[in-house]
Structure 1
Amino acid sequence: MSRDVPWGDEIVKHDFEVSNGTLEVPDKPGLGVEFDAEAAREHPGEPKDSHSLFDAEGALKRP
């Protein structure tokens, strides 16, 4: 999920900030974020085939 959406903070909650181009690494267990699955269900993603290794029929794309 891209963070440049207006609802991004509803889905991934964190308490860290970027200051002068740096991020203080949290000392709590885990990644330092809380994922809200219910909020994520409100904003399902859209498939983007440009990055897929497979075509519409499911076959592996060849270069």
Structure 2
Amino acid sequence: MWSKLARCTYAREIYGELDHQVRRKYTVAQIAGMIRVSRKTVYRYLDPDGRRQPCGSAGQ
């Protein structure tokens, strides 16, 4: 079972992975499926507006 901190950390790590053609290796939907959360939750972990909080902080 994944903890919230583990899910958040893993999502951020694999979202940054690139393939040999310098494209994202995984889509947000694929990441959500891997860690068994919604796409919305993955976007919350990634916070594209640049306001993201550390994975273990309150308010996640």
The bucket for the TM-score relative to the shorter chain is: under 0.3
Tell me the TM-score normalised to structure 1 length: 0.22
Greater strand share, structure number: 1
Higher Cα radius of gyration: 1
Greater RCO, CA 8 A, separation 6+: 2
Provide the TM-score with structure 2 as the length reference.
0.23
